Chain A
Amino acid sequence: MWLLKLAWKNLWRNRSRTLITLSAIFFAVILSATTNSLQDGVFDHFIRNMVSFYSGYIQVHKDGYWDQQVLDNGFERRASLEESITNHSGVISVAPRIESYALASAEDITKGCMVVGIDPKTENAITFLSDKIVQGTYFSDNEVQKVALLSEGLANRLNLNLNDTVILISQGYHGAMAAGKYRVSGIVHFGSPQLNDQLLYLPITVAQEFYSAENLLTSYVLSMNSDKNLKSTAQELQTTLGKEYEVMTWMEMLPEVEQHIKTDKGSMYIISGVLYLLIGFGIFGTFLMMMAERRFELGMLIAIGMKKHKIVMVLLVESVLYVLVGCLVGICISIPITWYLKVNPIRFGGDMAEIYLQYGFEPIFPASTDVWIFITQGIIVLVMGLALSLYPMMKVWRMDPVTAMKK
């Protein structure tokens, strides 16, 4: 107890130096926590946007479908299967799809397109498709009419407007001939040019009828609260569903997006590294000054009979107190700052905002208030402080009292 008391008193022997060091740690924690919170928030936002475009967080297919995406690799829609996916913890909603390619024609223009048969209600819960409608209306919940939603680029290419007819020709399930004509009930806009030029949506029963694939699905698309437990959820689902199905995360389906995030995070790590380096020098400078100032005193303590391990303990407690107080105050201040940035995200303006909007992203920089960001930053700075405190400890360990007390 008296060691703790001595350490606490030592902490305040030079108030200015202590306050400068605490401020350095405090600002470092605020900076690193806010930076990381913004980074995580932006990536979360980005991922949420990406998965809500089309892929969802997780997809379930028949095993082998992803490598060979044809109707013959589809699976039967079963209520029990759907239930076991829906009941899995972390899964918010599940949307069934049947997807294949077709030739779309209007007048004398023909273009290849991707036909996606959807359940209007569950699909909308995941991809917010109704929000992307720029003309016309979204499907009703149990739509059975022969209606289609065309992506804007595809409609333009085919010179189609609302209530025009689009003709689809394709190969159906097990090589059956597929042909049908559908009224354009709506036009949707996607930020991604790739999606905007080739997607055509049909109500799921209409699409199954078109492909002569009654009750057949090619995928279940799943949405989740966040992608924090994505991999473990996918693994658990895979175990539950067995080898007959393949469970894929968005990272496996969109590896280029994951790569982009990794690259961006890499540059952020470098910035964080520089920040930590600056903090490290600040803390180390304090320890250097402290040792120079207290060399005589520490020598005296050894001389009068204080064992070195006890002095080391006092210095360790001092270091922990320094870093802990700085970290705690820094975290306490970071929380309202990041919370404010989450509620009032930084918003782009001008051309930058236009580019973001064009790609279907809201032009904002939201912050994440994930508690682990603050805990992690606190732990990093704490470990750094403790690692640096090895310097004064080693000095004490090697200290000769006679040399230390020489003027």
Chain B
Amino acid sequence: MDTIIDAHHITKTYNPKTIPVVAVNDVHLHLERGEFTALVGPSGSGKTTLLNLIGGLDKPDTGNIIIHGTDITKLSANQLIDFRLRNIGFVFQAFNLIPVLSARENVELIMQLQGVSRNEINQRVQVLFRQIGMEDKINTRPSQLSGGQQQRVAVARALASRPQVVLADEPTANLDSKSAGNLLDIMAKLNQEENMTFIFSTHDQRVIERARRVITLVDGKIVTDTAQVDTSPAVHG
């Protein structure tokens, strides 16, 4: 197996000088390529903080996070931005598409930042929109898309850069049941087809059921880490 994430003794404390809040407490995490993992736990358990630390958006107070061989805790802020661009795909709860760009341009943006050639961008965009089933909406602005469609575009954007790992923070929180189901189908399919590693933070039982590994956090600590089989009926398009 190919190790993608190897994190040791990660601790993150907010407000250390006033009222300290330990968000992540001495966490160890090991993920292999192609895993489809859910981080679960009550609000305030440290799911989002752990995702931010893995994604290099935040720095841990202690510990090391090694992603595909690079210890990101040793990188400067500027190096981290570059690292994220090439190795991490983000899917946010609130979709976060750029409203002035079309769906296609939103997906293209990340590849333009990477300096990918125009030909390659065009090919990749076609493939991704086919994978998310939105070829007919490729030139539509986000405001004219439903929440589910926007989140599918956000997934396409996250995958556009061919990242090592895709981090999704509550990706179905703002979606209705049908849209959430569709999104999960797409992500599961992409996970299989592109062998990309997915980590979700979620409260959503539908997401938890589809995950092949579920890590439960309570008060910043991992309390359970279980492997499971995806039993839900997939709607493959």
Contact of A6 among B52, B82, B96, B101 (CB under 8 A): B101
| B84/A303 in contact, CB under 8 A | yes
A300: chain B residues at CB < 8 Å are 90, 92, 96
A407: chain B residues at CB < 8 Å are 94
Please tell me the number of chain A residues within 8 Å of chain B, measured between CB atoms: 22
B92 to chain A, nearest CB (A): 7
- State the majority secondary structure of interface residues on A: helix
Query: Across the two chains, which residue of chain A brings its CB closest to B167?
Result: A303
| A305/B92 in contact, CB under 8 A | no
What are the interface flags for A1-18 relative to B under an 8 Å C-beta threshold, 1 for contact and 0 otherwise? 010001001101100000
Contact of A2 among B90, B92, B112 (CB under 8 A): B112
Assess A307 versus B82: contact at CB under 8 Å? Given A296-B96, A297-B98, A405-B92: yes
Contact of A304 among B52, B78, B90, B101 (CB under 8 A): B90
A266 to chain B, nearest CB (A): 46
Q: Say yes or no for B55: interface residue by CB 8 A criterion.
A: yes
| A13/B100 in contact, CB under 8 A | yes
Contact of A308 among B81, B88, B109, B113 (CB under 8 A): B81
A17 to chain B, nearest CB (A): 13
What are the interface flags for B47-83 relative to A under an 8 Å C-beta threshold, 1 for contact and 0 otherwise? 0000010010110000000000000000000100110
Q: Say yes or no for A401: interface residue by CB 8 A criterion.
A: yes
| Complex Cα–Cα for A244 and B55 (A) | 82
| Complex Cα–Cα for A45 and B179 (A) | 75
| Complex Cα–Cα for A303 and B94 (A) | 14
| A302/B92 in contact, CB under 8 A | no
Q: Say yes or no for B99: interface residue by CB 8 A criterion.
A: yes
| B101/A303 in contact, CB under 8 A | no
| A10/B57 in contact, CB under 8 A | no
| Complex Cα–Cα for A303 and B163 (A) | 14
| A305/B85 in contact, CB under 8 A | yes
A307: chain B residues at CB < 8 Å are 78, 81-82, 113
A6: chain B residues at CB < 8 Å are 98, 100-101, 109
B98: chain A residues at CB < 8 Å are 6, 297, 301
A405: chain B residues at CB < 8 Å are 92, 96
| B57/A305 in contact, CB under 8 A | no
Q: Say yes or no for B86: interface residue by CB 8 A criterion.
A: yes
Residues of A130-153 at the interface with B, using a CB-CB cut-off of 8 Å, are none
Q: Say yes or no for A306: interface residue by CB 8 A criterion.
A: yes
Assess A9 versus B100: contact at CB under 8 Å? Given A304-B90, A401-B57: yes
| A302/B112 in contact, CB under 8 A | no
Q: Say yes or no for A310: interface residue by CB 8 A criterion.
A: yes
| A305/B113 in contact, CB under 8 A | yes
A9: chain B residues at CB < 8 Å are 100-101
| A305/B81 in contact, CB under 8 A | yes
Q: Say yes or no for B164: interface residue by CB 8 A criterion.
A: no
| Complex Cα–Cα for A9 and B102 (A) | 11
A12: chain B residues at CB < 8 Å are 100
B52: chain A residues at CB < 8 Å are 402
Query: Across the two chains, which residue of chain B brings its CB closest to A12?
Result: B100
Interface centre among B94, B114, B158 (most CB of A within 10 A): B94
| Complex Cα–Cα for A297 and B95 (A) | 10
Contact of A305 among B58, B84, B101 (CB under 8 A): B84
A301: chain B residues at CB < 8 Å are 98
B158: chain A residues at CB < 8 Å are 304
Residues of A302-330 at the interface with B, using a CB-CB cut-off of 8 Å, are 302-308, 310
Q: Say yes or no for B153: interface residue by CB 8 A criterion.
A: no
| B96/A305 in contact, CB under 8 A | no
Q: Say yes or no for B161: interface residue by CB 8 A criterion.
A: yes
| Complex Cα–Cα for A310 and B88 (A) | 19
| Complex Cα–Cα for A6 and B113 (A) | 12
A297: chain B residues at CB < 8 Å are 96, 98-99
14 contacts between A and B (CB under 8 A): A6-B100, A9-B101, A296-B96, A301-B98, A303-B57, A304-B85, A304-B158, A305-B84, A306-B109, A307-B81, A310-B113, A401-B57, A402-B57, A405-B96
Residues on B close to A: CB < 8 A?
52, 55, 57-58, 78, 81-82, 84-86, 88, 90, 92, 94, 96, 98-101, 108-110, 112-114, 157-158, 161
Residues on A close to B: CB < 8 A?
2, 6, 9-10, 12-13, 296-297, 300-308, 310, 401-402, 405, 407
Considering the complex of A and B, which 5 residue pairs feature the smallest CB-CB distances, nearest first? A305-B85, A9-B100, A305-B84, A300-B96, A13-B100
